[in-house]
Chains A and B, each alone.
Chain A
Amino acid sequence: MMRELKFMFRDKAVWVWLSLAFVFSIAAVSLGINEVSQQCAEIAELQQLDQIERKAALSGQSEWGGAAYYTFHLTYDPPSDFAFAAMGQRDVSPWKHRIRMLALEGQIYETDANNPDFALIGRFDFAFIASLIAPLLVILLLFDLRSGEQVAGRLRLIEASAGDAKKLWRTRAGLRIGALAIVLCLPVIIGGVISGAGIMTLLFCILAVCLYLGFWTMLTLWLTPATRTGAYNLTIMLGIWLLLCAVLPATLTQAISRAVSLPDGGEIVLTQREAVNDAWDIPKEETYAAFLKRHPEWVDYTGWDTADGFEWKWYYAFQHVGDQTAEPLSKAYREGQARRDELAKWSSLISPATLMQRTMERLAGTDMRAAITYEQSVRDFHANLRAWHYPKMFKADDFNSDWAIGAVPTFDPSTETGAESDLSN
């Protein structure tokens, strides 16, 4: 064993690949930690500005309707303590929104997009290293393990002197891949400790990396016999890598997109806009009838003064009716997203790179499910916001800006877990 270890470290190529792996992993982890801290700083700054903004918006108001119209509420999804390892869906889906009491469907699809060039090229995070580069490193460390000895004319001798030849190759491969696993995981462990990631999360991550490397090791050993040249073996393995890491995932995405079609997103916003705009022209009874189906508790408060064409309670009622009209489409969109994610989950059983990527995102809380949960928590918050304001508008409560500044609901990511929570005053 020790002898094998010495052999391994005498091979310059091994040194090159292992140091590259180490450098990549260190870079990925530190860049990830930097990104997470930037996101946290941005959230902190947003919270501060949100307070200032709220004061400015509310202090000039004289009634609840105007107050709700001008007050934006910050919602956000803070990065988890393991998010540094996989940014995942956070790079494409919004993790912060500013919403107000108007129709939500017009607000919730806004994205705070980064430079599109960047999204196109992709991020250098640990998930990328682990799921796409690590297999290449396994291949590069192992493809010439036996064929190299064959070319050097030592194969027979080595196999004969070792007794159990299979065991010998397993030990040699195991040592190289074990070293690879260590240089890959060490930075993650240190990064995890710095960011305060849970011990179970880290253990799971290490386990996933080891299993994934193990899979690629077996595959490589199986497909690179000594009877073929190293070049032949490497070509085969690069082809396999290309199929498993690029073609298969892309095909799965395509297949899933075609199998589960989503309603056109623009259609949702358009439907909502038409409903809200039409409301100005249709009789108020119609709007209230639709509104009361969801909120029968306000049936006694929907009277209006014919002399005054505009009333805030009516305005917010038709805003909500706009959401109601778009709801079937919006639901179909979200269900489609969830369905696609479900299919992707099952399809990862036949696509190891997918499985690895999804495992990392799951551990980091940056998968599609996390994005859907955040969106739901924003929807719940919006519902609470309406529930909080309706009594004040329908019962025509007096507005007191000093009181309102301290009392209007604030989004709290720890309580808004995507489930309905009670915020009634």
Chain B
Amino acid sequence: MSSAFRIAVEEWRQWLRSRLAVLSLIVLSVLLLFTTTLTMLDAQDARHERLHQQEQAEETFLNQPDRHPHRMVHYGHYVFRAPPPLAMFDPGVDAVTGQSLFLEGHRQNSAMFADARAEARTGGFGALTPAKLYYLFLPLLIIALGHGVILREREARTLGPLLSQGVTGGRLYRGKLLALGALIGLLSLPALFSSFAASLAGESLLAGLTLYAGTLLYLGIWAALTLFVSLAARSRGLALGVLSAFWVITVLVVPRIGVTSASATLPTEGKILTDMRMNDDLRKLGDGHNAADPAFAILKANLLAQYDVDSVDELPVNFRGMVASKSETDLTETLNAYAEKRMERESAQAAHLSAYGWLSPYLAIGGASRNLAGTDLETHHRFLREAEATRFDFVQGLNKAHIEKLSYEDDMNRNNGEEGWKKARVDASNWSVLNDFRFTPDTAANRLNRATPKLLALILWFMALIGLGLAAARRLTP
């Protein structure tokens, strides 16, 4: 048995002898197990429900009766984002973004009904998730149990005898680190369970295990920091003060300061304001419902020339459908330009924020964890983009039916009494232009890529603290 191992075992014996240490260990373990189970069940429920809602929405759309195709454009469709399997560990932005989106012609809606909006306001830190427990609160336990690992020996005057017996500072350091590492390993078991459970639900094991490794690394940073302070400080009071201050600042203060700084240096304007600015651009495009809008004069002239006819009713295609299709294309271009600008801005804000990850390991692991779980901002953006592609496809599919399957004459007479109303329709089989929408997370490699800089920051923190700790341990004097 190496001496480092013996030192670690002795440390554990000390902890187990303290009722307080045992109590805090039990309380946190129970909390972790509870939260892990509850979050897992919630995520599974949400996943099943949204997949079900998605199928139902598709069925409803396909089952609509024969209609004027443009009515289906306005009837619209819903898409849902099912949480990825690793949301059972870190639900990420899910609760604040809303997960259903209404798709219709001429508009890009925002996701509605975020859970956060209807929740009772009780203060605190919001819903507990395994990720939050690990990143926010577990460091406190590490501080509470670990700040004394060296100081206790110092205060009990056992440090001198230990060092004089030939236990070097470096070996003592390794032993104490091993003890803290075992503590972390034990407490991280629920996280390991989440990773495996997620992989059973179809998640790549690589992403799950990287997330687990990231969690270990983050907790390792706290262990290394605690150990370093325990080596360097002269009294327990001072060590606890320094560690608590570090926790308050890096976990509670810096992330929020980062958020405020990101939104102050890169302000986004609200959607309404953007919409109103955009309206100015959109008005120039003309109203797709009004084929007589002067904006479509060129389209009309081109079509008449192309088919060599004198008036729109002689065209072999439905001119109103052509106008609807053309205007949807132009409009979507403008909508997308604004949407992209907004998303780019949000990504820039996120990048600004993650730069603070070098100051706060908490921010780094939080970001990396959402990246790996597929519950980050980028995934939300991809959801919005894919939803938009679905929207554009089905609207243009319907417009195509409008152009080809509905005669211009019937279309013009649609408001002409009951008879005209009934004739201006196309067969319901045309509704099959709708594609199935199943949102899946990015590939594990992609997510890993996004998380890499943050994981790198964590590795650097860890190495630096271990280096500092080792240096302090070598110069350890009683």
Q: Which residues of A contact B (CB under 8 A)?
A: 13, 16, 20, 24, 27, 31, 34, 38, 42, 45-46, 49-50, 53, 56, 74, 88-89, 92-93, 96-98, 109-124, 128, 131-133, 136, 140, 144, 148, 151, 229-232, 234-236, 238-239, 242, 245-254, 256-257, 262, 264-266, 269-270, 273, 277, 280-281, 306-310, 333, 336-337, 340-341, 343-344, 347-348, 351, 353-354, 356-358, 361, 367-368
Contact among A116, A250, A354 for B127, CB-based, below 8 A: A250
Total residue contacts A-B, CB cutoff 8 A:
270
**Alpha-carbon distance A3/B233, docked complex (angstroms):** 29
Please give, as numbers and ranges, the residues of chain B lying within 8 Å of A38 by CB-CB distance.
267
B71 touches A230 (CB 8 A): no
Kindly supply a per-residue 1/0 record for chain B positions 376-395, scoring 1 wherever the CB is within 8 Å of any chain A CB and 0 otherwise. 11001000000000000000
A117-B353, A131-B123, A254-B38 known, 4 other contacts, Cβ within 8 Å: A92-B117, A230-B236, A253-B119, A344-B120
Minimum CB–CB distance from B160 to chain A (whole Å) comes to 19
Tell me the complex Cα distance, A354–B124, Å: 7
16 residue pairs of the A-B complex, CB under 8 angstroms, read A97-B272, A98-B276, A112-B271, A113-B110, A121-B353, A236-B20, A238-B140, A238-B143, A249-B124, A250-B125, A256-B120, A307-B417, A309-B416, A336-B118, A351-B123, A357-B123
Given A46-B273, A92-B116, A265-B112, decide whether A16 and B123 contact each other with a Cβ distance below 8 A: no
Cβ of B31 within 8 Å of any chain A Cβ, yes or no, is yes
Determine which of B272, B377, B415 lies in contact with A96 in the assembled complex, contact meaning CB atoms within 8 Å: B272
Contact B53 A132 (CB under 8 A): no
B277 at interface, CB cutoff 8 A: yes
Q: Is the CB of B118 within 8 A of A231?
A: no
Q: Decide: A341 and B253 in contact? CB cutoff 8 A.
A: no
Tell me whether B123 and A356 are in contact (CB under 8 A): yes
The chain B residue sitting closest to A333, CB to CB, is B118
Q: Measured between alpha carbons, how far is A129 from B273 in the docked complex, in Å?
A: 31
CB neighbours (8 Å) of A116 from chain B are 93, 96-97, 377, 380
Q: Are A34 and B75 neighbours in the complex by a CB distance under 8 Å? A: no
Contact (Cβ within 8 A) A277 B74: yes
Which B residues lie within 8 Å of A248 (CB)?
124
Known: A110-B109, A115-B268, A121-B256. A354 touches B123 (CB 8 A): yes
Residues of A within 8 A of B276 (CB): 46, 49-50, 53, 98
Which residues of the other chain, B, contact A357 by a CB distance below 8 angstroms?
Answer: 121-124
Are A34 and B380 within 8 A (Cβ)?
no
Whether B241 and A140, one on each chain, are in contact in the complex, defined by CB atoms closer than 8 angstroms, is: yes
Question: Nearest Cβ distance between residue B141 and chain A, in whole angstroms?
Answer: 9
- B468 to chain A minimum Cβ distance, whole angstroms, is 21
Q: Which of B219-227, B258-266, B434-442 contacts A (4 or more CB under 8 A)?
A: B258-266
Inter-chain contacts of A347 with B (CB < 8 A): 120, 122
B283 at the interface (CB under 8 A from A): yes
* Closest residue of A by beta carbon distance from B381: A116
Q: Which chain B positions have C-beta within 8 A of A351?
A: 122-123
How many B residues have CB within 8 A of the partner chain?
94
Chain B residues positioned under 8 Å from A98 (CB to CB): 272, 275-276
CB distance from B429 to the nearest CB of A (A): 18
Selected contact of A45 from candidates B38, B273, B346, CB within 8 Å = B273
Verify B93–A309 contact, CB threshold 8 A.
no
Q: Cα distance A239–B116 when bound, in Å?
A: 27
Interface-central residue, A98, A118, A230, A248, by most chain B CB under 10 Å: A118
Query: Are A309 and B112 in touch, CB under 8 angstroms?
Result: no
In the complex the two chains form, what is the Cα distance from A354 to B121 in whole Å? 8
Q: What 10 A-B pairs have minimum CB-CB distances, sorted nearest first?
A: A249-B124, A357-B123, A265-B113, A124-B256, A344-B120, A116-B93, A309-B415, A256-B120, A119-B96, A249-B122
CA distance A343 to B121 in the complex (A): 10
Q: Does B166 contact A (CB under 8 A)?
A: no
* B346-379 vs A, Cβ < 8 Å mask (1 yes, 0 no): 1001100100000000010010000000001100
Give the interface of B toward A (CB within 8 A). 20, 24, 27, 31, 38, 53, 65, 67, 71, 74-76, 78, 92-93, 95-98, 100, 102, 109-114, 116-128, 136-137, 140, 143-144, 147-148, 235-237, 240-241, 244-245, 248, 252-253, 255-260, 262-264, 267-273, 275-277, 279, 283, 346, 349-350, 353, 363, 366, 376-377, 380, 414-418, 420-421
B27 touches A239 (CB 8 A): yes
Question: Contacts of B257 on A, CB cut-off 8 Å?
Answer: 27, 124
A109→B113 contact, CB < 8 A: yes
B121 contacts which chain A residues (CB < 8 A)? 88-89, 341, 344, 357-358, 361, 367-368
Among the interface residues A42, A247, A308, which one has the most CB atoms of the partner chain B within 10 A?
A247
> Residues of B contacting A333 with CB < 8 Å?
118
Which residue, B71, B144, B421, has most C-beta atoms of chain A within 10 A?
B144
B122 touches A253 (CB 8 A): yes
**Chain A residue, CB-CB nearest to B362:** A121
Residues of A within 8 A of B235 (CB): 151
> Cβ of B123: which chain A residues have Cβ within 8 Å of it?
131-132, 245, 249, 351, 353-354, 356-358
Residues from chain A with a CB closer than 8 A to the CB of B120 are 252-253, 256-257, 340-341, 343-344, 347, 368
CA distance A305 to B104 in the complex (A): 30
Closest to A228 in B: B20
* Contact, CB under 8 Å: A266 / B24: no
Q: How far is the CB of A129 from chain B (nearest CB, A)?
A: 9
How many angstroms between the C-alpha atoms of A113 and B109 in the bound complex?
Answer: 12
Cα separation A85 to B353 with both chains bound (whole Å): 23
